[in-house]
Amino acid sequence: MAIFLTFMLAFVLGYVYGFHIKPKRRLRQALKDVRSQCVAALEEGNTGIYKTIVTERDKSSELTVEVKELAITQNGLVKVQYISAFYKNPEFRTKKGDALLNEVRDMLGDFLPLNEVEWYENTEKHERIKKYLNSLTVTQYNLL
């Protein structure tokens, strides 16, 4: 009889753990992961495009640089991180990748004029993320 009661108790506890406790734990972890990804997307910062003409040895080409905003100064400059760059005329310079980004950083510096950078419009994306983030509540899924 004791073996039968032990078996039944193990069955009931296994059922409760397997169908009620473990799935809720996985759902909590998934919600934490989604929430952290949304917060990271919101804190990502502004990105934009900066275009300039580079002239060297009677040759010129348009340099297009994708930048990420790090900080804005009171003088109307923005500290940027260079994400990617390319020349409109690829024969003008042959550097690519990190070598080109280092060259651009040396040429343009860390600060660019704020009004010359064309910023991507992120307000709609951020509003959708905020709305989605606010809809993710733990109490909605009876996880407490």
Q: What is the pLDDT of residues 99-108, one digit of tens each?
A: 888 888 998 8
Give the model's pLDDT for residue 140.
52
Name the E strands within 16-141: 47-56, 59-72, 77-87, 111-113, 118-119
Q: What is the pLDDT of residues 5-56, one digit of tens each?
A: 898 888 888 888 888 777 877 777 888 888 888 877 777 778 889 999 988 8
For residue 3, what are the CA distances in angstroms to 8, 12, 13, 70?
Answer: 9, 14, 15, 67
| DSSP string computed for 38-65 | HHHHHTT--EEEEEEEEEETTEEEEEEE
- Please give the Cα distance from 142 to 75 (Å, whole number): 52
Asked if residue 92 lies in contact with residue 104, where contact means CB atoms within 8 angstroms, the answer is no
137 band by pLDDT with thresholds 50, 70 and 90? low
Q: Is the pLDDT of residue 109 over 80?
A: yes
